[in-house]
């Protein structure tokens, strides 16, 4: 049965799957310098941003992704003060990071200013902290920025990128991870979105290898549901040279001065549990280091 034109469908290349949302109207479409950006108003998921044909975020379900890209890494670090976000132009991750009172500076570096300008219009709730005095937002190449970063100057690097094709491809490489390692202080952590465990296990596996090759001794993948992404099952991968990633500040999670909709201490631990097939694929990776 074919869906009518009232639906937006993302066909996941190679996987033979597609996910669709019922659309009320297209609100915007443009070709930026880097990518094609579309904004839709959906019937049940609020606003929807599409980049180069791929679903990026919806009003309704972005909370899971943004909470899981920020809080597990920040609560795995004893005292995260300086945060760098590569990508993340919708500003949702920045908004979560700035909820941590100990953060002194959160720098967002996205290559495409148009993503942020459109997010300010269509996802204003995600941009609510853009004028926080601790926020620094710049539009430039994150790979280049990381090459020039002052050594040992950052506590957490969050790579909140699109899929590893097009402008984001370099963000999944060993060379980029080496630059990240150099920028991180002791106990520093990088966390990166790492696609679907069900559909893209090869990407997760390659990321583990590239991170370890770059000098990150501890690498752990976290699972979470994400309805609008291919397979509905997504992941992020944390890595550190010296931080074993298992000394989680549980007490601080339980007394956090902000509300979450998805994340809590039980979910943090649960996200680290790997199904058998992932244990098998990552048997040199996630096992106790």
| Residues with catalytic function | 160
Scanning 71-79, 152-160, 171-179, 276-284 for contacts with a copy of itself by CB under 8 A, the matching segment is 276-284
DSSP, res 172: G
Binding a copy of itself (rule: CB under 8 A), the pick from 56, 57, 267, 282 is: 267
Residues paired with residue 262 on neighbouring β-strands, in sequence order? none
For a copy of itself, the binding residues in 59-88 under the rule CB under 8 A are 61, 64
Give the per-residue contact string, 229-258, with a copy of itself (x = CB under 8 A; - = no): --xxx-------------------------
* C-alpha dist (Å) from residue 79 to 2, 102, 106, 169, 222: 52, 7, 14, 31, 21
Question: Does residue 217 belong to the site contacting a copy of itself (CB under 8 A)?
Answer: no
Identity of the residue, 180 or 253, whose beta carbon is nearer to a copy of itself in the bound complex: 253
CA distance 278 to 128: 37
76: Cβ contacts below 8 Å, ≥ 6 apart: 189, 238, 243, 245, 246, 247, 248, 249
Q: Quick one: which of 239, 250, 145 has its CA closest to 188?
A: 239
Identity of the residue, 216 or 224, whose beta carbon is nearer to a copy of itself in the bound complex: 224
> From the CB of 14, what's the least distance to a copy of itself, in Å?
8
Give the per-residue contact string, 92-121, with a copy of itself (x = CB under 8 A; - = no): ------------------------------
Q: Are 69 and 96 in contact (CB under 8 A)?
A: yes
If you search the block for the tokens 């019922």, which residue do you land on? 22
Q: Are 179 and 216 in contact (CB under 8 A)?
A: no
> From the CB of 11, what's the least distance to a copy of itself, in Å?
7
Which residues sit at the interface with a copy of itself, rule CB under 8 A? 1-5, 7-9, 11, 15-22, 42-45, 61, 64, 198, 223, 225-227, 231-233, 259-264, 266-267, 269-277, 279
């Amino acid at each position: 049965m074919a869906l009518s034109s009232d639906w937006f469908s993302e066909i996941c290349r190679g996987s033979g799957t597609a996910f669709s949302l019922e659309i009320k109207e297209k609100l915007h479409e443009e070709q930026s310098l880097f990518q094609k950006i579309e904004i839709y108003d959906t019937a049940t998921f609020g606003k929807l941003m599409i980049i180069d044909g791929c679903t990026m975020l919806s009003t309704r379900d972005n909370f899971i992704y943004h909470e899981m890209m920020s809080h597990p890494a920040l609560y795995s670090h004893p005292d995260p003060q300086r945060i760098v976000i590569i990508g993340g132009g919708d500003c949702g991750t920045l908004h979560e990071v700035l909820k941590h009172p100990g953060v002194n500076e959160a720098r967002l570096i996205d290559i495409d200013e148009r993503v942020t300008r459109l997010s300010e219009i269509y996802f204003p709730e995600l941009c609510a902290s853009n004028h926080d005095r601790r926020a620094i937002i710049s539009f430039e190449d994150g790979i280049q920025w990381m090459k020039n970063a002052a050594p040992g100057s950052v506590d957490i690097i969050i790579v909140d990128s699109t899929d590893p094709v097009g402008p984001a491809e370099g963000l999944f490489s060993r060379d980029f991870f080496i630059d990240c390692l150099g920028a991180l202080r002791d106990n520093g952590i990088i966390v990166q979105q790492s696609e679907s465990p069900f559909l893209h296990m090869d990407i997760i596996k390659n990321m583990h290898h590239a991170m370890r090759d770059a000098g990150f001794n501890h690498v752990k993948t976290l699972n979470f549901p994400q309805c609008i992404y291919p397979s509905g099952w997504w992941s992020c991968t944390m890595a550190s040279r010296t931080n074993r990633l298992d000394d989680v500040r549980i007490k601080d999670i339980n007394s956090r001065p902000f509300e979450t909709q998805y994340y809590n201490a039980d979910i943090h631990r649960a996200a680290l549990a790997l199904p058998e097939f992932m244990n098998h694929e990552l048997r040199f990776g996630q096992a106790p280091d």
